[in-house]
Amino acid sequence: MEAENQTRILEFILLGFSEDPELQPFIFGLFLSMYLVTVLGNLLIILAIVSDSHLHTPMYFFLSNLSLVDICFSTTIVPKMLVSIHTENKAISYMDCLTQVYLTMFFPILDTLLLTVMAYDQFVAICHPLHYTIIMNPCLCGLLVFITWFIGVMIFLLHIFLMRHLSFCRDLEIPHFFCELTHILKLVCSDTFLNSTFIYFMTGVLGVFPLIGILFSYSRIASSIRKMSSSRGKQKEFSTCGSHLSVVSLFYGTGVGVHFTSAVTHSSQKVSVASVMYTVVTPMLNPFIYSLRNKDVKGALRRLLSRAASCL
């Protein structure tokens, strides 16, 4: 087949979890429930932060951005899967598939960088409390978020450039529930050396280095907390940091789990199940982690819900 014909692809086929028709209603209901909880939970976090002046601080500004990214990440994947199950049509157009590829890389990059920025914010708040308002001023907070989105967009555009010249074979079935980059590259007939090298490089740079920054920040934070004389102060700081550390552990743990599962097994179903934890469960649990472990967020949510109830 000539390269010119190979690139004229109209659609891919997403095989999903199972072809058993009896399982489809269960899968549809499960993912619809998780998606609704994800959107509602993260949206409540954003509304609580925006509506409560007590939460107009750098920490909650970054948290609202994280919640927005989690909503977008889930929306990139779950609605299309639900439509496919409902219509019994597993096809996804070429452009929709490639858009999904880019966005499912773009939003995790934002997650990684935002978690790193939030760790830095905690480091400044605990290790340099007297200079916190000077260091973490609105201009710096806005700049950090802008840099986060800018890096994500630049990597997004680089992937678009590298994907432009790829030629696809006739076998366009993807053994997954969304268009994931490594699965797409397996369907390519042309050379993918640059694409694969770029993936490994970006995984190292945007996976390892932010994690090193987070661990360094929390090593300094732990050292500062140990020096505190007040047990109440220690408990408060541990509670604040515990939420963020839980989210970091969940994010990196599920991400590593997906890559480990892909490396040790050839079962597409096991890889898909592992990917659910990373793409659906983690964004769903984040608002619960922050709301259940944070008194300020719980108070803001109660006030938001009471105002909403009074308006009904």
pTM here is 0.89
pLDDT value at residue 40 = 94
Question: What is the DSSP annotation of 8-62?
Answer: ---EEEE--S---TTTHHHHHHHHHHHHHHHHHHHHHHHHHHHH-GGG-SHHHHH
Residue 126 lies in a domain: yes
Question: 82 with 38: CB under 8 angstroms?
Answer: no
Residue 122 lies in a domain: yes
**Mind listing the pLDDT tens digit for each residue in 162-181?**
877 777 776 688 888 898 88
Residue 2 lies in a domain: no
**Cβ neighbours around 20 below 10 Å, total:** 9
Domain containing 72: what range?
8-311
- Tokens standing for residue 13: 């086929």
Residue 1 lies in a domain: no
Q: Indicate which CATH number applies to the domain containing 162.
A: 1.20.1070.10
**Mind listing the pLDDT tens digit for each residue in 285-309?**
988 888 776 778 888 888 888 887 8
Residue 59 lies in a domain: yes
Question: Which of helix, strand or coil describes residue 254?
Answer: helix
pLDDT value at residue 307 = 82
Cα end-to-end distance, the chain, whole Å: 64
**What's the number of domains the chain is made of?**
1
Residue 280 lies in a domain: yes
Residue 3 lies in a domain: no
Residue 149 lies in a domain: yes
Q: Which of 78, 68, 69 is nearest to 29 (CA)?
A: 78
Q: Which residues pair with 14 in a beta bridge?
A: 174
Distance from chain centroid for Cα 234: 30
Per-residue pLDDT of the chain (312 residues; tens, 9 = 90+): 344 444 455 788 888 877 777 888 998 999 999 999 999 999 999 999 999 888 899 999 999 999 999 999 999 999 999 999 888 888 998 888 888 988 988 899 999 999 999 999 999 998 998 999 999 999 999 999 999 999 988 887 887 788 777 777 766 888 888 988 888 888 888 788 888 888 888 877 888 889 899 999 999 988 888 877 766 666 766 776 778 888 888 888 888 777 766 666 666 677 777 788 888 899 999 888 887 767 788 888 888 888 878 776
